[in-house]
């Protein structure tokens, strides 16, 4: 999973990046021109830790999460902004860091959100308008056959943008989503609003109604964090972290909360493969079919899929072993159409 971090200059965007990744990227540079900061982290999962103790494998592989922190945007359609947004075209979700702390100027979260959304929408509008013009030219030359559905969904998106709404707010069918996928439209990506607060709001509910209302938008989640404090926490060792969190009244690290929020926003779950060689977490979308989950591991397993041996995580822990799970009838065989559940332990039977 990849998450692109965006925001206005001095929103604390890179501070939040450091807080989430434990990195030490330079902060306070405003609208920097440097290349994006990129960091890959392991997704903490207590279930993997417990399975590793049970199977004592040679290798333990956690799911990973890539954060891409781009230079500050300005909220205006510029060539520089276009270049910056190019870096997040391939991400699964966009995290917009919004300043909610006082840095000598009162925060203006609603205006900041609107400015960044406008820049994303301007970028998409240019892409869509350009493609529609090319489709019209092809149609006039008698080469527009088969482009009707593409034109229809692009016009739907264009109308959405003209009404000053990002494409993520549209209700799109699966076929429409497939058509749009190749365009990598940035305002169509699920949005995580990260409200970067001051220390005075740690552990408190955000009361600003304009900001809270964004959580009601489709494909949008709102999350708050004190980036400055969380960055300090990320630099501590594990023994120091818990007492510091407790002292501040923070029940869970910002990273863990963000991962959970992101998984919910994107509809993601984890399944596991286990054995003496390797215990590994795999990330898929909810209700992914067993045959497609097999393809996440290797395309040959998907092509030659026969059956999947499946046991739920909780059932395996209660049984203590796969053999005991089989004896109790909890380790079962499932076919191609089985919808994989979060925490399923799976072994795929296949033939190629």
| pLDDT in the model for residue 103 | 86
State phi, psi for 168 to the nearest 5 degrees: -60, -20
In sequence order, what DSSP letters do the residues of 323-345 get, joined into one string?
HHHHHTT-SEEE-TT-B--TT-E
- For the segment 138-163, the average pLDDT, to the nearest whole number, is 91
Q: Both 205 and 261 in a single domain? A: yes
d(C-alpha 85, C-alpha 19), whole Å: 22
Most confident of 141-155, 227-241, 284-298: 284-298
Total domains present in the chain = 3
d(C-alpha 192, C-alpha 99), whole Å: 14
- For the segment 237-263, the average pLDDT, to the nearest whole number, is 85
Assess if residue 271 is contained within a domain.
no
In sequence order, what DSSP letters do the residues of 234-282 get, joined into one string?
HTS-HHHHHHHHHHHT-SS-HHHHHHHHHHHHHTEEEEEE-SSSEEEEE
Classified as helix, coil or strand, 292 is helix
Q: Both 238 and 104 in a single domain? A: yes
**Domain final residue pick, 167, 183, 199:** 183
- For the segment 21-45, the average pLDDT, to the nearest whole number, is 82
31 pLDDT band, cuts 50/70/90, is very low
Assess if residue 345 is contained within a domain.
yes
Assess if residue 48 is contained within a domain.
no
pLDDT at 220 over 80: yes
| pLDDT in the model for residue 33 | 54
- For the segment 66-86, the average pLDDT, to the nearest whole number, is 84
Q: List, for residues 44-58, the tens digit of each pLDDT value.
A: 999 999 999 999 999
State pTM to two decimals: 0.90
Q: Both 16 and 99 in a single domain? A: yes
| pLDDT in the model for residue 193 | 95
298 pLDDT band, cuts 50/70/90, is very high
d(C-alpha 347, C-alpha 294), whole Å: 9
d(C-alpha 124, C-alpha 14), whole Å: 25
Most confident of 73-82, 205-214, 319-328: 319-328
Q: Both 298 and 215 in a single domain? A: no
**Domain final residue pick, 183, 212, 231:** 183
Q: Both 6 and 70 in a single domain? A: yes
CATH number at residue 88: 3.40.50.300
Q: Both 69 and 131 in a single domain? A: no
State phi, psi for 163 to the nearest 5 degrees: -90, 10
Q: Both 172 and 198 in a single domain? A: no
Assess if residue 254 is contained within a domain.
yes
Nearest to 167 by CA among 189, 148, 150: 189
- For the segment 189-205, the average pLDDT, to the nearest whole number, is 89
In sequence order, what DSSP letters do the residues of 188-210 get, joined into one string?
GS-EEEEEEE-GGGTTS----HH
**Domain final residue pick, 168, 183, 198:** 183
Assess if residue 97 is contained within a domain.
yes
Q: Both 14 and 87 in a single domain? A: yes
Q: Both 100 and 225 in a single domain? A: yes
Q: Both 258 and 219 in a single domain? A: yes
Q: How far is CA 273 from CA 54, 78, 255, 291, 322, in A?
A: 13, 47, 25, 15, 12
Domain range for 165 is: 121-183
d(C-alpha 315, C-alpha 317), whole Å: 5
Q: Both 219 and 329 in a single domain? A: no
Is residue 22 within 8 Å of residue 86, measured between CB atoms? no
| pLDDT in the model for residue 34 | 66
| pLDDT in the model for residue 13 | 94
Share of the chain above pLDDT 70, in %: 98
Q: Both 253 and 195 in a single domain? A: yes
Burial class of residue 175 (count of CB atoms within 10 Å of its CB; 0-12, 13-18, 19+): exposed
Choice among 147-161, 201-215, 231-245, 323-337 with the minimum mean pLDDT: 201-215
- For the segment 171-199, the average pLDDT, to the nearest whole number, is 94
Assess if residue 156 is contained within a domain.
yes
Q: Please give the mean pLDDT across all residues of the chain.
A: 91
| pLDDT in the model for residue 29 | 60
> Strands, E, within the chain: which ranges?
2-7, 37-42, 59-61, 64-69, 93-100, 191-197, 220-225, 268-273, 278-285, 305-311, 332-334, 345-350
Q: Give 67 or 75, the one with higher predicted confidence.
A: 67
Choice among 117-121, 133-137, 234-238, 310-314 with the minimum mean pLDDT: 234-238
Assess if residue 341 is contained within a domain.
yes
Residues 6+ apart with CB under 8 A from 328: 319
Assess if residue 54 is contained within a domain.
no
């Amino acid at each position: 999973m990849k998450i692109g971090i965006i925001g206005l200059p001095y929103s604390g965007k890179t501070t939040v990046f450091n807080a989430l990744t434990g990195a030490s990227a330079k902060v306070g540079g405003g609208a920097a021109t440097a290349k994006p900061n990129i960091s890959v982290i392991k997704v903490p999962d207590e279930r993997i830790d417990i399975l590793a103790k049970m199977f004592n494998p040679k290798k333990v592989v956690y799911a990973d999460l890539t954060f891409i922190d781009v230079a500050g945007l300005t909220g205006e359609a510029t060539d520089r902004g276009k270049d910056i947004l190019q870096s997040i075209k391939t991400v699964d979700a966009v995290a917009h860091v919004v300043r909610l702390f006082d840095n000598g100027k009162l925060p203006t979260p609603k205006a900041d959100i609107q400015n960044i959304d406008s820049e994303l929408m301007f970028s998409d509008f240019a892409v869509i308008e350009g493609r529609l013009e090319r489709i019209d030219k092809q149609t006039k030359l008698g080469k527009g056959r088969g482009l009707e559905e593409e034109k229809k969904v692009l016009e739907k998106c264009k109308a959405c943008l003209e009404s000053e709404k990002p494409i993520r707010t549209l209700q799109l069918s699966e076929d429409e989503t497939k058509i749009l996928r190749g365009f990598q439209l940035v305002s169509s990506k699920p949005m995580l609003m990260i409200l970067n607060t001051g220390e005075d709001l740690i552990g408190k509910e955000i009361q600003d109604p304009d900001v809270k209302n964004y959580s009601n938008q489709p494909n949008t989640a709102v999350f708050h964090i004190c980036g400055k404090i969380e960055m300090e926490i990320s630099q501590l060792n594990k023994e120091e972290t818990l007492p510091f969190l407790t002292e501040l009244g923070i029940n869970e690290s910002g990273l863990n909360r963000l991962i959970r929020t992101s998984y919910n926003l994107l509809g993601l779950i984890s399944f596991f493969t286990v054995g003496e060689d390797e215990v590994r977490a795999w990330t898929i979308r909810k209700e992914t079919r067993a045959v497609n989950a097999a393809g996440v591991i290797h395309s040959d397993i998907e092509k030659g899929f026969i059956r999947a041996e499946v046991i739920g995580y909780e059932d395996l822990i209660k049984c203590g072993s796969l053999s005991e799970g089989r004896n109790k009838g909890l380790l079962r065989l499932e076919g191609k159409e089985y919808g994989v559940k979060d925490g399923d332990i799976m072994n795929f039977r296949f033939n190629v």
